[in-house]
Structure 1
Amino acid sequence: MKPIEGRKRVVIEEVEPQVDCGRYPAKRILGDTVTVTAAVFGDGHDHVSGRLLYRHSSEADWRSAPLSPLTNDLWSASFTVDALGDWLYTLEAWVDHFDTWSADLQKRLEAQPVPGGTNPAAAPQDIPLALRSGALLLEHAAKRAEGADSKHLADEAARLLKLAKAKSDVYENPLTDEIVALVARYPDLGFATRYAREFHLWVDRERARYSTWYELFPRSTSPDPTRHGTFADVIALLPDVAAMGFDVLYMPPIHPIGKAFRKGPNNSVTSTENDPGSPWAIGAKEGGHKAIHAPLGTLRDFDALVAATREHGMEVALDIAFQCSPDHPWVAEHPDWFNIRPDGSIQYAENPPKKYQDIYPLNFESPDWRGLWEALRDVFTYWIKRDVKIFRVDNPHTKAIPFWEWCIGEVHKKYPDVIFLAEAFTRPHVMYSLAKAGFSQSYTYFTWRNTKDELQQYFEEITKPPVTDFFHPNLWPNTPDILHATLQNGGRPAFMQRLILAATLGANYGMYGPAFELCENVPAKPSSEEYLNSEKYEIRHWNRSANNSLAPLVTLVNQIRRNNPALHSDGSLHFHHVDNSNIIAYSKSSGDNRILVAVNLDPTQEQAGWIDLDLKQLAVPHNETFEIEDLLTGTRYQWHDRSNYVALRPDVMPAHIFRLLRKPTVEIPPTP
C-alpha cells in the first residue's frame, strides 16, 4: 500500500517506557526525570535527528527535548514531570540534511590536498561546490527561522557563498558551534516522521512511592474495656502512632454494620445482641457506604479525626469494600445490583464450603450496571470531599476490571492526588492488570515469600522494568486476614525479621497493629492463617505498653527509613551473594546515601556467612577499606574489599541495616 507521503524516510521503533503497547499509562512520581528511549534510524548514510515531544494533558502545546544518540541506533531524551496527573509523550525524527552535510564537509576538509603537506597527491575534494550546498541549506534554515536568527543564518549563507567563490588553495572549516546549534533550533520537519501514537504517563504524588502504614480498628481503641472505641479514642492514640514513624493511618470500614446474619466471635454463624459483627458487613437502616457506624461517633467527629491526623503529619486511609449486608439500603432500593437466585432470594457470598450470609456481593453484570458504577464512584468522591485522599480497596479483583479503569480515571480527572491501594492477593496477571487500570499501590505476595531464593526472585521481578513502569508494591507482614505460619511458629524473632524485611525491601510497607508489635501469633486452628479471637469479629483491648512490645524497634526502623533516601524507592534494590542460604543481603542507594541490609531468615538459630559484595553497585573501589555503621545499634565496623563476615543471632537482632559512611569514589550505577 503506497503511503500518503513516501518521502518520510526515518523509522521509529521500540519506544520505552510503554505499558502493553501504550494501552495503559506508565507511572512516575511528581518531580521524576522521565527518560524515553527508542530506536531511530533511516536508510543509507544520511544522519538523522529527532526530538521528544511531551506535555501535561492540560497544555495545548508540546514541549520538546532533543534526542541524544546512545548506541546501535538507540536514542534517548528526558523531561521532568512538574505537575500531577496525565501526561502525554511521543517522538518525532527526520533526516538531518544539514548535519549530514556538515559531517561530509569535515571529511572533505581533512582529505583536501595541502601544498607542502603530507598528502599533496590527494584527490581534489571540490570544496567550493560543497560550500555552495551548505549555503543553500542555510538559506532554507533562514526562511524557517525568525527575527535576528533568520538574518544571522542568511548572513552565514552569504559568507559560505563568498568562500566558495574565493577558490582558496586550502579551506578551514567555516562552521562554528554557534551556527550548528542555531540551525538545530529550526529543523526541517517537512518530511519528519511522527511516531504513530501518543503515550500516556500518570504522575502520582510522592506518597504513592514511599509510605508507612499502620492499621487499627477504631472500635478497639477505647482505654475503657467496658465500652466501644470512638474516633475520639483514635485521636488520643495519634501521638503514639506518629511517634512510631507512620504516615498513613488505615482503618477498616467505618460504616454501619448489618444485623442480619451477623457473625459472632471467631467467625461463628451465631451471635448475641452484644456481638459487634464484622465491619465488612456494610450497611444498616442508618445507611450504607456514606454513613458512619454510630458507636464510633458522628461525621463531625470523623472530620476532627482527619484534621488531627494531618496535624500529626499523617493521613487517614479508608477501607472501601464494595459489598453489602442484607440490611444495606441498596438491597431494597436496587435489588438488581445483586445476584438473584432462581428462588428470588439474593445470593450471599460463599466459597464452598464456607458461607458468608452476612455479605451480599455486587453483580457487575447487572442490567443497571451504569447506575451501579456511578453509585460506587460517588462513594469515593463523598469521602474525598471530607478530605480523605487515600483508599485501601478491599478485594478489587472480585469486581470488574473495566469498572476500576473507569472509576479511578473519573476520580483522577478532578482529584489527581488521590491514592488507591489494591488489596489484591490474587493471580499475577489480575494483580498487574489492576495496577495498570489505575491502582497506585498493591499488596503483594511478600507474606508468602520466606526463603532467600523466593524473596530474591520475587523482588527482582517487582522492582525492575517493565513491572515498575506500572506497579508500586506495598509490603505487609500481617493483616487481619493473614497470620502466616512464619509468625505463628517463629516467635518474636520472626516478627523482627519480617518487620525489617518489609521496611527495607519495600519503600511502601504497612502492618496490622497492635497485633504485630505485640507479636500476636495464635491461629484460630492448626494450618489456618486466621487469628484466634480475630478482631474482625470482636472488640479487642490491647496492652500497648506491654514489656514485649516491638514498638521501640518499629520506631527505630521507621526512623531509619525516614532518614535515608535510599529506602524511599525500590528501583536501586540489588542483591549480594551470601554463602549461607539462611542469610539474605541487599542494598539500596540514592546519591551518596547507600544502605546495605543483611537478614537472618532463620528465627531459631544464629547464622553466619560471608557476603560477597558487588562493590561497583556500592561505589566502593576494589581492595579498599571502608567504614560502615549498623543503624540498628550504632556500632561501626571496618570492612575491606568485597568479602566480609556477618553473624546474626535472631533472639538478639536478626538483621544489620548498614549505612556506608565514606563518600563514593566510583560512579554509582543509575537507578532504572
Structure 2
Amino acid sequence: MTRRADLRLGITDVAPVVSCGSFSARAVVGEHLPVTATVFREGHDAVAADVVWTAPDGTRGPLNRMRRYGEEPDRWLSTVVPDREGRWTFRVEAWSDPLATWHHAVEVKIEAGQGPGELANDLEEGAQLLERVAADADAEWRGRLTEAAEALRDGSRTLHDRVAPALSTALQRYLDEHPVRELVTPTPEYEVWVDRPRALYGSWYEFFPRSEGPVVGGVPVHGTFRTASDRLPAVAEMGFDVVYLPPVHPIGTVNRKGPNTAQFPGGNPHEIGPDDVGSPWAIGSAEGGHDAVHPQLGTMEDFRAFVARTRGLGMEVALDLALQAAPDHPWVKEHPEWFTTKPDGTIAYAENPPKKYQDIYPVNFDNDPEGLYAEVLRVVRVWMDAGVRIFRVDNPHTKPLDFWHWLIWKVKETDPDVLFLAEAFTRPAMMHQLARIGFTQSYTYFTWRTAREEIEEYGRELATNAHYMRPNFFVNTPDILHASLQYGGPPMFKIRAVLAAMMSPTWGVYSGYELYEHVAVKPGSEEYLDSEKYQLRPRDWAGAEAAGRSLAPYLRRLNEIRRQHPALQQLRTLRFHRVDNPNLICFSKTDPGSQDAVLVVCALDGQNRQIGTTGLDMPTLGLDWHERFAVTDEVTGARYDWGQFNYVELDPYWEPAHVFSVHLPRPVTWPPPVR
C-alpha cells in the first residue's frame, strides 16, 4: 500500500465547497468569504492551518492564517477577500506547529515546578526552533531571535530570565506571523467564481416599455423605447439599480392571446382584434425572432439608446431570455426539428394543465443540440453586443441542466461580468442545482413566505447556502399577485417591501406595486385583472404621487438605506432574533470588519397594532449581553437607547417597521456567531 502524504494530518469538512468540488463556490469582488475546515492530528502536539488563495491569473497571495472558531475545538476559520472577477482557487494546508507545542510544554512544566535540569532538552529545542526562524528573518528580528535563543542556552541566568525573551509578547507575535510549518498536509484545490458586486447586491424594477406610450382620446398608444426612456428618471429617483425588461422581440400573430386570457385556460375570451398586442413571451413572427426588436418598440439602435440612457442614470438593463417560440417564429419554418412533433404531425404547444398556451411552442433540446446550442449562444451575444450584461432567464427549469451549464460558462469565458438570473419557481432540488451549475441569482419562494416561522426558516436556508445560491426577492411579478397583497391593504405593501429590501441584498418590484395594484382576475388566482402580459397598461404615475397615493417615496427611502449601509448588501450575515409576538419579526445584518449594522423589527399583520418585546442575540451584533447601544430609525429619524430586551409597538397604518441603524462601539467580528 502506498503511503498518502496528503493524509498525514486530518482535514475534513472544508467550506465553501459545492457538491464535493464539482462546481465553483461563489463570491463577489470585495466580499468577505469565510473559509472553514476541521483540522486535527494524533497525540497532543499543536496543529495549525492556512488558506492558500490563488487569483485567476495564477498569482498566489500570502498565506491566510486560520484561527479556531466556534464551540468545536477543531473547527478553524479564515476570511479571504477577492479583489477581481474570475475563477479563484483555494486550498487548506494543515501543519504541525512545533513552536506552539514547545511554548505550551514549557509553560506547563514550569508551572508544575520543574527546574532547569529537567527542562534542559526543552530549552535546547526552543533555541533550535528560534534559530530556524532567524535564518529567514531580516537583520533586526534575526538579532532578537538569536538573543532569545542564546538566553535559553545561558545556564548562568535564572529559569525565568532564560525563557522570558522567547515568551515575550512581541516575539510571540512575530513567531505567529512567521511560524515553523512541519508535516504540511494540503487539501485538493477548490474553485470560487468571483462576480462583480451587482451579482450579490442590487434593486430591480420591472416594466413593459410598450405600456409607456401616450393615451389619446382615452385609448392607449403602443409605447416605444424612446417614450419608455422618459420613465427611466423616475425609476432612478426611486433608487433602483437594474431595469428589467420583458422580451422586446416581435410577437407572434398565430393564436395570439387577448386581454384577461388567464381566465380562460382553454382558449381566448373573444375574437382577437388588430389592437390586441399579445404576450411578449410568445416570441417571433414574420418580422423576426429572438435577435430582432419588435417594430412597434423601435429599432436596434433605439434599444441601444435606451441602454445608454439607463446607464447614464446609474442603472443597467436586464433583458428577458425566453427560449420558446410563437407558431410563426422563423425557427418553426427553418428548424422544425427544434420542436416536439405530435403523432398527428402538429407541433406541441405549451401546457400547464388546465392552462393551455397555444401561442407558445416549447423548444426541444434533444433533437439537434449542437445546432440549437450554437443558435442560443449567437442570440445571447447579439444582445450582449447591444449593451446587455444581465439576462433574466424565463423558466430555466424546463430546459436541460447541461445546456445551461454549457451556455453560462461559455459566455463567462469571454465576458465574466455577464450575469444570469434564474426565474425558476419549481422544486427545491432543481432551484439549487441551477444555482450550483452557474446561475448568478435565483427567484425564490419569498412571495409565499408570510408567517414568521417560515420566513425565518427560509432566510436561514438562504444564508446557509450563500456560497452558491443568491436570492432575488421580488415582491410581485406580472404572474404573481399574492393573496397578502390582494387583501392586506396598503400597509402590507410596505411590509413586504421592507422584508424583501432588508433581508435580501437583491430585491425587486414589478411596476404598479408603487400604486398598490391589488385586484386579481378572479378569486383564488394570483393573476392580475387586466394583466399587462396581454394588453397595454399605461399608468398615471405623476398624478398618483401628487395625490399621495404612491408608495414611490417609501421605496426610494428603502433603497437609500440599502445604499448607505453595506450591512444590507450582505447575505451571509443575516441573523434572526427572538421576539415574543408571532406577528412581529426581528432580524439583523452586519458588515464584516466595520461598525455598520442594521436591525429590523417588522409587523407581519397589516391590519392591527402589534406589541412585543425583543430578546436580542447580542454577540451577533458584536456586543456583550449587558451592553446598551443607540439605534436610529432610518425611516422616521427617531432615536432610542436599546439593550437585549426592548419594548416594541408598531401600528401598520403609521409605520409597520423599524429599520434601525445600530451605533456600535467597535467593529463586528466575522463571521458572527451561528445561532
TM tier, smaller: 0.7 to 0.9
Matched, 1:610 2:613: yes
Q: CA deviation at 1:561?
A: 2.4
Q: What's 1:482 paired with? A: 480
Write the letter of the residue equivalent to 1:473.
P
**Normalization by structure 2: what TM-score?**
0.87
- Unpaired runs of at least 5, structure 1: 114-121
CA distance in 2 between counterparts of 1:181 and 1:258 reads 72
Contact 2:148 2:166 in 1 (8 A): no
Q: What's 1:192 paired with? A: 184
Contact 1:257 1:325 in 2 (8 A): yes
CA distance in 2 between counterparts of 1:498 and 1:552 reads 15
CA distance in 2 between counterparts of 1:315 and 1:386 reads 12
Q: What's 1:542 paired with? A: 539
Contact 1:112 1:170 in 2 (8 A): no
Q: How do 1:615-630 and structure 2 match up within 5 A?
A: 615-618=618-621, 627-630=630-633
**Helix, strand or coil at the partner of 1:468:** coil
Give deviations 1:270-324, integer Å, cap 9, x for gaps.
4222211110011122322111111111111111111110110101110111111
Write the letter of the residue equivalent to 2:448.
W
Structure 1 stretch displaced more, 308-317 or 451-460: 451-460
Write the letter of the residue equivalent to 1:604.
Q
Which of residues 523, 526, 537 is equivalent to 1:526?
523
79 and 654 in structure 1: CA distance in 2 versus 1, 3 angstrom threshold: closer
Structure 1 stretch displaced more, 607-616 or 213-222: 607-616
73 and 491 in structure 1: CA distance in 2 versus 1, 3 angstrom threshold: closer
Q: What's 1:279 paired with? A: 280
Q: What's 2:650 paired with? A: 647
Q: CA deviation at 1:134?
A: 6.2
Give the percent of matched residue pairs that are identical in Structure 1 and Structure 2: 44
Give deviations 1:345-376, integer Å, cap 9, x for gaps.
2211112332111111111222x212222322
Contact 1:621 1:665 in 2 (8 A): no
Which of residues 194, 209, 215 is equivalent to 2:200?
209
Which of residues 256, 268, 287 is equivalent to 1:262?
256
Write the letter of the residue equivalent to 1:251.
L
CA distance in 1 between counterparts of 2:292 and 2:328 reads 13
CA distance in 2 between counterparts of 1:552 and 1:261 reads 41
CA distance in 1 between counterparts of 2:174 and 2:659 reads 49
Structure 1 stretch displaced more, 166-175 or 584-593: 166-175
Q: What's 1:331 paired with? A: 332
Structure 1 stretch displaced more, 61-70 or 535-544: 61-70
Matched, 1:17 2:16: yes
CA distance in 2 between counterparts of 1:182 and 1:587 reads 38
Q: What's 2:236 paired with? A: 242
348 and 5 in structure 1: CA distance in 2 versus 1, 3 angstrom threshold: same
Matched, 1:509 2:512: no
Matched, 1:3 2:3: yes
199 and 266 in structure 1: CA distance in 2 versus 1, 3 angstrom threshold: same
653 and 93 in structure 1: CA distance in 2 versus 1, 3 angstrom threshold: closer
CA distance in 1 between counterparts of 2:173 and 2:624 reads 40
**Helix, strand or coil at the partner of 2:21:** coil
Q: CA deviation at 1:34?
A: 2.6
2 and 244 in structure 1: CA distance in 2 versus 1, 3 angstrom threshold: same
**Normalization by structure 1: what TM-score?**
0.87
- Unpaired runs of at least 5, structure 2: 262-266
**Helix, strand or coil at the partner of 1:469:** coil
Q: What's 2:600 paired with? A: 597
**Helix, strand or coil at the partner of 1:296:** coil
Q: What's 2:41 paired with? A: 42
Which of residues 493, 498, 501 is equivalent to 1:500?
498
CA distance in 1 between counterparts of 2:562 and 2:173 reads 48
643 and 187 in structure 1: CA distance in 2 versus 1, 3 angstrom threshold: closer
C-alpha RMSD of matched pairs (Å): 3.3
CA distance in 2 between counterparts of 1:459 and 1:147 reads 49
Q: CA deviation at 1:257?
A: 0.9
Q: CA deviation at 1:562?
A: 2.2
Contact 1:265 1:271 in 2 (8 A): no
Q: CA deviation at 1:259?
A: 1.2
303 and 623 in structure 1: CA distance in 2 versus 1, 3 angstrom threshold: same
Q: What's 1:230 paired with? A: 224
Contact 2:126 2:149 in 1 (8 A): no
Write the letter of the residue equivalent to 1:543.
D
Matched, 1:447 2:447: yes
Contact 2:286 2:330 in 1 (8 A): yes
Q: CA deviation at 1:458?
A: 1.7
Matched, 1:125 2:118: yes
Contact 2:133 2:178 in 1 (8 A): no
Give deviations 1:493-519, integer Å, cap 9, x for gaps.
222222222222222111110x21112
CA distance in 2 between counterparts of 1:375 and 1:600 reads 49
**How many pairs were matched up?**
650
Structure 1 stretch displaced more, 591-600 or 22-31: 591-600
Q: What's 2:403 paired with? A: 403
Q: What's 2:210 paired with? A: 219
Contact 2:126 2:152 in 1 (8 A): no
Write the letter of the residue equivalent to 2:18.
V
CA distance in 1 between counterparts of 2:138 and 2:633 reads 62
CA distance in 2 between counterparts of 1:15 and 1:623 reads 35
Write the letter of the residue equivalent to 2:225.
F
**Helix, strand or coil at the partner of 1:279:** coil
Contact 1:221 1:233 in 2 (8 A): yes
Q: CA deviation at 1:594?
A: 3.4
Contact 1:257 1:281 in 2 (8 A): yes
Q: What's 1:117 paired with? A: none
138 and 620 in structure 1: CA distance in 2 versus 1, 3 angstrom threshold: closer
Contact 1:622 1:642 in 2 (8 A): no
**Helix, strand or coil at the partner of 2:73:** coil
Q: What's 1:116 paired with? A: none
CA distance in 2 between counterparts of 1:638 and 1:163 reads 55
Q: CA deviation at 1:669?
A: 7.2
Q: CA deviation at 1:63?
A: 4.6
**Helix, strand or coil at the partner of 1:517:** helix
Q: How do 1:123-202 and structure 2 match up within 5 A?
A: 124-125=117-118, 127=120, 172-173=162-163, 175=166, 191-195=183-187, 197-202=188-193
Which of residues 643, 653, 658 is equivalent to 1:656?
658
Contact 1:612 1:644 in 2 (8 A): no
Q: What's 1:92 paired with? A: 93
Give deviations 1:134-168, integer Å, cap 9, x for gaps.
677678779xx67978x969x959976x986x875
Q: CA deviation at 1:184?
A: 7.6
CA distance in 2 between counterparts of 1:323 and 1:181 reads 63
CA distance in 2 between counterparts of 1:439 and 1:44 reads 45
Contact 2:99 2:179 in 1 (8 A): no
Q: How do 1:380-459 and structure 2 match up within 5 A?
A: 380-459=380-459
